[in-house]
Every structure is written in structure tokens, then in C-alpha cells.
Chain A
């Protein structure tokens, strides 16, 4: 985990973002940065606006105000994985490269050897953990500089989450891939990422190095179940 913080020029910077659904405001004055090669966590309760933020970053939603600057390519692993269930694993991965030059999924199979044996299986017939690997693999096929992951651990056994978490850390260390990790499991997120933002009802409530946030009473009681294990 290389923590360059926001000291060097960030790969992704969001400034004063305002996003609405009709009249309702989902995000207000949201600013955040992800440095090159940095892993940053975004934690927050249900309905805080995390998914809204990622959908805005990937252009699915248009902000009413504010700026998004990305000095590279951003790929998005959506909440609930959202695979192409009618297509096989291999096709799911290849389609991730729709806008990228190389469609060869060999590097993904190297990263997730388990997927190699499943490459011909329809994505709808995979276990949750396998699906999450395909979802991450598909996003990686775009050759991103920043990977935004929504709910990495959703519906997965802790051991599978640990495994995928290790993959991410390895990727980050080996390729310098930047990661913006949205997580319900704050303990995991703060463990994997050096820095974190806390989103509360559409606003950034606090942010800073994970080591500090972990000990902040408000964060502890709201997201870490009141006690800390380091």
C-alpha cells in the first residue's frame, strides 16, 4: 500500500459535486481526491449517496454542479456485480475491453486462476464470489488507471472477501492501480486503504488517514460497532 496522499497530482479529483434525483438532492458539495497509486475508501450508511457518486463518476448520472477531473481511465465495478448473465465468463471479460485496445483476458485469468476453468460458463451460474471476480476482471479489462468498486464485500463470505481484498492490494502494489473502494464493512475498508472519506446523507462528514479515522469516536460508534481491533 503506497500512500502518497494528496501530495502529488491526484489521478481523480472531485470538487463541489451536486447531484439530484429530480428535486431531491443526493449529493451536495462533495469533494474528494484519489492520488496516483493510492487506495482510498469511501464509507457511509445505506442511502448516504455512495452509489450515486460512483454512477456520477462513470457518467451514468450528470451532476448539477461541480467538477470531476480524471487524469486517466476510470472503470467501475458496480454494486451487485451486474454481470451479463446470458453470456459466458469469457465474453463478460472481453466486453469489458469495448473501449480498450486489447481484448485478451489472459491477464485476468492470471490474476484469478479460478476463472480460467469457468471461462465457458454462463455468468448467471456462478457463485457470488466468482461473480465478483468476473466483475472486477471485466472492469480491469478496460485497462483503467482508477478502479472504483461499489460494495466489494456484499453477500460474500469473509474468507472470499479477504481473498479478493488481497488480490486488490497485490494489483495496487504491482501495477500502481488506484482504487476507490466503497464499502459497508468499514473495518475491511480501513484495513485495505490508507485513507478514507466518510459520506453522510450526501455530504462528506470527515476524511483522513485510516489510522486516525479508526479511532475517531463518531466513526467508531457509527461504522465499527463501537470497538476497535487493530
Chain B
């Protein structure tokens, strides 16, 4: 029982990380129609930058905030590369994969190939139904919840959020109403970068990260975003939790080697189910 509980706590916290990634996919897709496969790189770079700042003696909280800001800046830069030209959507998608590879190369050169970690929130482990939980787990869950709620409010319940959605819905009409479509796209990339950075700085004390962790993270974040058809931040959170918990249970009760394979199989099932449902709707209308 307490073993299961332990897996669930771990799974939920991984789930929030995936939800942060998924929401990054969602906001960028909703504004630019680009699927940003460099989303995992924001987590890795955010975490590594915080690690280096800590090593240089910068206080923990400040290091983490600066790392998130740096991730936002990297997101902005990626956005500039991807959407400022006249690239087709498919070309932008390939570009984001290229950027992710570039990040891996840079991360390997600067930080090497060994997994990195640093200690998170200090304090006694909390006793919780027969298991011990590090305070960092609660920090991760709490901060993620606040950030995700803020994003949901922004996207679905504010005027600016509506304008951001309008950019992808009909870029031409958005321009006619005076919305700066490119600026909105850049903003979405910066927010996507910050979301990854938040995930990186919060997860690194719990799960060490290597320069090439981004691929797995991007895949799981994408899978979680697919649950909400790449557009719903609330369903993306649900998706994140599903994949986080499923991954931990598979790793715990079966084998760690299978966790990604199972997650991918789940994602394919979801995609099939969604295209089936879309066909049903198409038949109705």
C-alpha cells in the first residue's frame, strides 16, 4: 500500500512536469499553429542554468527565477527563428526539431554528459499516510498548480488570451483587427520557454537531468497535450497526470525500460481514439 502511494506521489509530480511541458505546447500551438518540439530543451536548459548559477554562489530562489527568465529568453529566440520568416508550418516544425538538437549539442559541450542535480527545498520530509515525502514534491505541485491556473485564466478568460487564440484561428483577420500577430507568436514562445524553465528548476532536485533528457520530456509533454487536442490547458493537465502516473506504475511494477514504450503506446491509442471521435463528429455535421 505504501509502495503504491509512493509511486503515486512520484507519478503526480512527474505528471505536473509533463503538464507544464504540455501547456507550453498548447500555448505555442494555439497562437502560431507550430508544434514546438524544442519544448523539452527549455526544461533541460532551465535546470542546467539554475545548476550553474547555484554553483556560482547565487542564492537558490534567485538562481531559479533567473533560470526561468533565461528559458523565456531562449523561447523568445526560438520563436524569432521559427515564426518571423515566411516559413510553412511544416518547415517550422522541422526547425524546432533542429533547435532541440542544437540545444543538446550546446548542453553537452557546456555541462557534459553526466546527470546533474542539486538539492531542492530544505526541511524535514513530511510523513504522509505511511510514506515520507520530500518538501520539494509539494513545492513542485504547488508552483505548477499556480502557474497552470494562471495560464488557463490567461488563455480562456482574458481579452489578451482571446486575441492570442485569434492569431492562429485566422491570422489574416487578426491583422485586420490590428492585432500584432508576430508579437503574439513571440509572446507565446516566451511563455512556452518560461513554462519549460519552471519545470526544469523544480524537477532537477527530484530527478537528475542529462543533456539529452529533452527528447523524452518533449514526447511525454506532447502526448499530454494531445489529450487536449493541443488546445486545452485543462485537459493537458489531465493528460500530464495520466502519463506521469502511468509511467511510474509501469516503472515500479514492471520495468523502467518499458515506461516510455508504454507511454508512447498510450499516446497512439489516444490519437486513434481522437481521430475516430472527429470522424464521428464529421458524420454528424
Seen from chain A, the residues whose Cβ lies within 8 Å of a Cβ on chain B are: 58, 60, 76, 78, 82-87, 91, 94-96, 98-99, 103, 138, 142
Bound state CA distance, A138 and B166, in angstroms?
13
Interface code B241-274, partner A: CB below 8 Å = 1, 0 otherwise? Answer: 0000000000000000000000000000000000
B169-A85 in contact (CB<8A): yes
Bound state CA distance, A60 and B165, in angstroms?
20
Interface code B167-194, partner A: CB below 8 Å = 1, 0 otherwise? Answer: 0011011111111000000000000000
* Chain B residue at minimum C-beta to C-beta distance from A97: B177
8 residue pairs A–B, Cβ–Cβ below 8 Å: A84-B166, A84-B169, A85-B169, A87-B165, A87-B166, A95-B179, A99-B177, A99-B178
Q: Is B162 in contact with chain A by the CB < 8 A criterion?
A: yes
CB distance from B283 to the nearest CB of A (A): 16
Q: Which residues of A contact B177 (CB under 8 A)?
A: 95-96, 98-99, 138, 142
Q: Which residues of B contact A95 (CB under 8 A)?
A: 162-163, 166, 174, 177, 179
* Chain B residue at minimum C-beta to C-beta distance from A100: B178
B178-A98 in contact (CB<8A): yes
Bound state CA distance, A142 and B175, in angstroms?
13
Seen from chain B, the residues whose Cβ lies within 8 Å of a Cβ on chain A are: 159, 162-163, 165-166, 169-170, 172-179, 231
Bound state CA distance, A78 and B174, in angstroms?
11
Q: Which residues of B contact A76 (CB under 8 A)?
A: 176
From B159, B165, B175, B178, A84 is in contact (CB under 8 Å) with B165
Given contact pairs A82-B173, A96-B177, A98-B163, enumerate 17 new A-B contacts (beta carbons under 8 Å). Answer: A82-B170, A82-B172, A83-B170, A84-B173, A84-B174, A86-B165, A87-B162, A87-B166, A94-B162, A95-B162, A95-B177, A98-B178, A98-B179, A99-B177, A103-B159, A142-B177, A142-B178
Bound state CA distance, A99 and B163, in angstroms?
12
B172-A84 in contact (CB<8A): no
Bound state CA distance, A81 and B242, in angstroms?
40
CB distance from B230 to the nearest CB of A (A): 12
A82-B159 in contact (CB<8A): no
A86-B176 in contact (CB<8A): no
Q: Which residues of A contact B174 (CB under 8 A)?
A: 84, 95
B173-A83 in contact (CB<8A): yes
Task: Name which of B162, B172, B174, B231 has the most chain A CB atoms within 10 A of its CB.
Answer: B162
Bound state CA distance, A82 and B166, in angstroms?
11
From B170, B172, B231, A60 is in contact (CB under 8 Å) with B172
CB distance from B117 to the nearest CB of A (A): 41
* Chain A residue at minimum C-beta to C-beta distance from B168: A86
* Chain B residue at minimum C-beta to C-beta distance from A81: B173
Bound state CA distance, A224 and B176, in angstroms?
32
A86-B178 in contact (CB<8A): no
B170-A85 in contact (CB<8A): yes
